[in-house]
Amino acid sequence: MTFYTYHYLTTQHSTWQYLRIALLIALLVAFMGLFFYYLRHRWNVKYKDLSIITGTLLLLVLGLQINSLVSLRSASEQTGEITGIVTNVAQQLRVSPKKLAVNATTSNTNLLIKAPDGYYRLDYNSDNSAYLIEKVTLHQPKIKLVKE
């Protein structure tokens, strides 16, 4: 069973997004350079072809980046929900949120919380508007803690 720390949940943003943005900027610069070079030397058709290929790659990477940002936004909203739950549980257990770990990165009905003094299960009511914290004992737990 995998548990994720509060620090992991709050700093889970992907660093490869920055790599895509850098690739996007590099393609934009290459496209502009090739296109302007083609405009200066209209007799050399290879720069026109290279600028079309670069422009197509630029549009492809831009589309992937927009899709990725939309999915990152929804993931951030779901992570915000789970971090809110962890902070509420930390207040009720009277511990720091940094000492807690949860078994999911999105909020669902089967959440287990790993605290310094044991494991807790969140038992939701029928409309998921409230929950009860119940201490549980795991038999032969195989715990993997993801910190960062």
Residue-range domain boundaries for the chain = 2-146
| Residue 29 reports pLDDT greater than 80 | yes
- Least confidently predicted of 13-17, 22-26, 51-55: 13-17
Residue 120: the pLDDT is 92
Helical ranges in the chain per DSSP H: 6-10, 16-40, 46-93
The per-residue pLDDT for 139 is: 82
SS3 120: strand
Give the whole-number percent of the chain exceeding pLDDT 90. Answer: 7
Q: What is the pLDDT of residues 89-141, one digit of tens each?
A: 899 999 998 899 888 877 776 788 999 998 999 888 888 778 888 999 888 77
Distance CA 133, CA 4 (A): 18
Q: Is pLDDT at 32 greater than 80 in this prediction? A: yes
Distances (CA, A) of 30 to 33, 58, 124: 5, 10, 54
Q: What is the pTM of this model?
A: 0.61
Tell me the pLDDT band of 12, cut-offs 50, 70 and 90. Answer: low
Q: Phi and psi of 125, rounded to 5°?
A: -80, 180
